[in-house]
């Protein structure tokens, strides 16, 4: 009888859900949990001490995990570290989460730091749809644009919509907007598909959009693109500033915070800027 069989024979048969546990699988998963930022590498003897298991059992568990790619040996061969299979599981988990669930913690952190409402939107045809929104507990948030999760606004006439149209070619934009003149919502609304295309391509090169009173005269919006593993824009992350004009001293700071939050969400979606070949122009004024 081997070590695993002896140990399992000595373990009491628990009632309820515990009786369905597979001890060897549980030990293997707990072993993966021992690796952390503080313990990036571990040896078999160390793991045997932690789990009070025979070294032969630990070596078999490590060998199984190594064969499956969940751990790998370091260059010296005596220590182990987490393998790429763990990373793949993490990415698959994140990819399975709805976009709003992934983005909400980032919106909350951004809103708390800036004291302004933050939001996440996606495009549905010619409209943008708010999928997440966070408002700070302050009186100024009451003056923000009255949008809620589910609110739809025209993509061509909003800052967030401009972000979501960045990947479209001119023929694709003309197909989306076949009319000669686009519906106007403010003096800032582009009048034709060509004018819209020129605008969003400039936005794309800049890497963000800052619109002061672009859709509503008393509201300013800062927005940046969220990209997935393909490099395509899948959402726009924005901040709503409750004024038609942003204080000059805070512009660069707020733009930086929005871009960083959008980049962090993109990273969660497995976006790799270097791999996509996209170059983002650094901050140079307001870009409008």
pLDDT digits 0-9 by tens, 77-136: 889 999 988 877 776 665 556 788 888 899 999 998 888 899 999 998 898 988 888 888
Conformation bin of residue 80: beta by default, left when phi > 0, alpha when psi is -120 to 50: beta
**What is the separation, in whole angstroms, between the first and last Cα of the chain?**
76
Note the pLDDT of residue 235: 93
The pLDDT assigned to 142 comes to: 47
Q: Where are the beta strands (DSSP E) in the chain?
A: 42-43, 71-73, 79-82, 118-124, 127-134, 152-154, 209-212, 220-227, 233-241
Is the pLDDT score of 30 beyond 70? Answer: yes
* Residue 161: per-residue pLDDT: 94
The closest of 108, 24, 104 to 62, measured between CA atoms, is: 24
Is the predicted pLDDT of residue 288 greater than 90, yes or no?
Answer: no
Strand partners, 236: 121, 225
On the question of pLDDT at 1 being above 70, the answer is no
The Cβ of residue 9 has, within 10 Å, a number of other Cβ atoms equal to 8
- How much is the pTM? 0.63
């Amino acid at each position: 009888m081997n070590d695993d069989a002896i140990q399992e024979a000595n373990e009491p048969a628990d009632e309820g859900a515990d009786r369905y546990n597979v001890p060897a699988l549980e030990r293997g998963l707990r072993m993966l949990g021992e690796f952390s930022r503080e313990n990036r590498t571990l040896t078999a003897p160390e793991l045997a001490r932690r789990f009070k298991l025979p070294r032969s059992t630990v070596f078999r568990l490590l060998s199984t995990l190594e064969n499956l790619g969940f751990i790998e040996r370091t260059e010296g061969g005596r220590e182990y570290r987490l393998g790429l299979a763990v990373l793949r599981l993490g990415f698959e988990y994140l990819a399975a989460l709805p976009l709003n669930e992934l983005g909400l913690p980032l919106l909350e952190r951004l809103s708390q730091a800036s004291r302004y409402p933050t939001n996440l939107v996606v495009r549905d045809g010619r409209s943008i749809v708010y999928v997440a929104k966070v408002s700070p507990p302050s009186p100024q948030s009451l003056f923000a644009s009255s949008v809620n999760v589910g609110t739809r606004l025209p993509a061509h006439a909003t800052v967030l919509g401009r972000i979501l149209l960045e990947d479209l070619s001119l023929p694709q934009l003309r197909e989306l907007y076949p009319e000669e003149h686009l519906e106007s919502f403010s003096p800032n609304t582009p009048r034709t598909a060509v004018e819209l295309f020129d605008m969003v391509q400039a936005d794309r090169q800049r890497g963000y959009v800052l619109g002061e009173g672009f859709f509503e005269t008393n509201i300013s919006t800062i927005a940046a693109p969220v990209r997935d593993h393909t490099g395509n824009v899948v959402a726009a992350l924005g901040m709503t500033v409750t004024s038609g004009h942003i204080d000059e001293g805070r512009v660069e700071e707020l733009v930086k915070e929005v871009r960083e939050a959008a980049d962090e969400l993109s990273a969660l979606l497995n976006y790799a800027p270097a791999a996509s070949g996209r170059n983002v122009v650094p901050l140079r004024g307001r870009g409008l």
